[in-house]
Amino acid sequence: MKKNIAVLPGDGIGSEVTAEGVKVLKKIAQIFGHHFDFDYALIGHEAIRTTGNPLPDETMKLLVQSDAILFGAVGHPMYDNDPALKVRPEQGLLRMRKELGLYANIRPVKLFDELLHASSIKPEILKGSDIIFFRELTGDVYFGEKGRKDNNQTAYDTMIYSRHEVERIAHIAFRAAQTRRKKVTSVDKANVLESSRLWRETVQQVAAQYPDVQLEHLFVDAAAMKLIRSPRSFDVVLTGNLFGDILTDEASEIAGSMGMLASASIGDTIGLYEPIHGSAHDITGKGIANPLASVLSAALLLDISFGLKQEADAVIRAVEMTLKDGYRTVDIADSHTPKEKILNTHKMGDEVAVRLEKVAVEV
């Protein structure tokens, strides 16, 4: 198979972890006889620095010609410390999602058995957790009308959803549930918010078309609590942009670390694959970031955009074997692992790549 992959490393640890995702994709191409071409482009703070634009035209031009996108992270502390700055790295990511019509953000939260003790949640509560989040990605308060008024004394962001926006993500979530444990938990704040009442009404209508799937509604505050109290009670979670953003950071603790969580953003056109974590400037340049979220994002890319299920499974198996052999980055280190070996970002990627050779024979 011949494919063009656009690589957007972005800011902070983005380039460090994305290098390992690319390493694994190259290894897959070599083992399975595919031809992947990688083209790099700028986004975020790096793009602002050199072009003044967080999503340069040249980057968009590359993206629309590509078959899939591997993305790292965007962000920089200088913007976090100066809210008055008008041009911001995150705008690059948000515009890319919107312009490419990537309305469905899929975030699988599956605990590798080997990481049972890496999480701050008790192992007996965690064991067997396997959740998949469907976060709506191009609507909500992220894209509603926003501004300042009253002589700059008041600011507002509008939480807004259309029926159409809710329907299309709901269908994707319900179809996924049919292939899993057949339960959808829709998360909203319908006891307070009008947009959530439309969300709930629409999800109920969509659910009627999937009688084999059980639908449960939770308010977001209760969902946040239940995720930690009984993560095994969740199968598919369907939620809006803001609630999904917050709950998936929380849920990453179920997978042991933020550094483990991959995501796929799909919709009308091309697929975008990225770790859920940010640019992490506190550890940038130290070489200690966990590359597995990028590696697992590469697996999602192979599976969803290219339909290469075997290759995707090989990547996941190789990650599992690497963990089983005791290799860890600092974020997933724990005192329970016998013969634990702490590796840097680069070496962790190497260990996964080495194991791909062995795994490829089995799958």
Please report whether residue 245 would count as binding Mn ion according to CB under 5 A: yes
How many residues bind Mn ion (CB under 5 A)? The answer is 1
For residues 11 and 157, give the distance between their C-alpha atoms in angstroms, rounded to a whole number.
Answer: 26
275 three-state secondary structure: strand
Residue 282 bears catalytic tag: no
Of the pair 243, 327, the CB lying nearest ligand IPM is at 243
DSSP state of 303: I
Q: Which residues ranging from 35 to 74 are in contact with ligand IPM (CB under 6 A)?
A: 74
Select the residue interacting with ligand IPM from 276, 283, 293, 298 (CB under 6 A).
Answer: 276
Please report whether residue 93 would count as binding ligand IPM according to CB under 6 A: yes
DSSP state of 36: E
Position closest to Mn ion via CB: 245
Return the H-helix or E-strand segment holding 3: strand 2-10
Q: Which residues ranging from 196 to 255 are in contact with ligand IPM (CB under 6 A)?
A: 245
Chain centroid to CA 180: how far?
19
For residues 84 and 87, give the distance between their C-alpha atoms in angstroms, rounded to a whole number.
Answer: 9
**Distances, alpha carbon 345 to alpha carbons 109, 291, 350, 352, in Å:** 21, 6, 9, 11
How many residues bind ligand IPM (CB under 6 A)? The answer is 8
**φ, ψ of residue 255 in degrees (nearest 5):** -90, 5
Beta bridge partners of 37: 4
Q: How far is the CB of 223 from Mn ion (least distance, A)?
A: 16
Of the pair 74, 314, the CB lying nearest ligand IPM is at 74
Of the pair 273, 327, the CB lying nearest ligand IPM is at 273
Per partner kind, with CB cut-offs from 5 to 8 A, the member of ligand IPM, Mn ion, none near residue 44 is: none
Of the pair 32, 143, the CB lying nearest ligand IPM is at 143
For residues 68 and 338, give the distance between their C-alpha atoms in angstroms, rounded to a whole number.
Answer: 39
Please report whether residue 169 would count as binding ligand IPM according to CB under 6 A: no
Residue 189 bears catalytic tag: yes
Burial 215-240 (b: 16+ CB within 10 A, else e): bebbbbeebbeebbeebeebbbbbbb
Contacts of 33 (CB under 8 A, 6+ apart): none
Q: How far is the CB of 317 from ligand IPM (least distance, A)?
A: 27
For residues 8 and 10, give the distance between their C-alpha atoms in angstroms, rounded to a whole number.
Answer: 6
Q: 79, 103, 142, 327: which one is catalytic?
A: 142
CB contact at 8 A, 298 and 25: yes
Instruction: Using the Cα atoms of residue 205, residue 207, residue 212 and residue 217 in order, give the sign of their dihedral.
Output: negative
Of the pair 216, 245, the CB lying nearest Mn ion is at 245
Tokens representing 66? 């590509």
Position closest to ligand IPM via CB: 90
Per partner kind, with CB cut-offs from 5 to 8 A, the member of Mn ion, ligand IPM, none near residue 72 is: none
Residue 61 bears catalytic tag: no
Of the pair 137, 323, the CB lying nearest ligand IPM is at 137
Q: Which residues ranging from 170 to 189 are in contact with Mn ion (CB under 5 A)?
A: none
Q: 39, 80, 113, 221: which one is catalytic?
A: 221
Q: How far is the CB of 249 from Mn ion (least distance, A)?
A: 6
Distance, first Cα to last Cα, the chain: 18
For residues 176 and 173, give the distance between their C-alpha atoms in angstroms, rounded to a whole number.
Answer: 5
Per partner kind, with CB cut-offs from 5 to 8 A, the member of Mn ion, ligand IPM, none near residue 206 is: none
Q: Which residues are catalytic?
A: 142, 189, 221, 245, 249
Residues forming the site for Mn ion (CB under 5 A): 245
Enumerate binding residues for ligand IPM (CB under 6 A): 74-75, 90, 93-94, 245, 276, 278
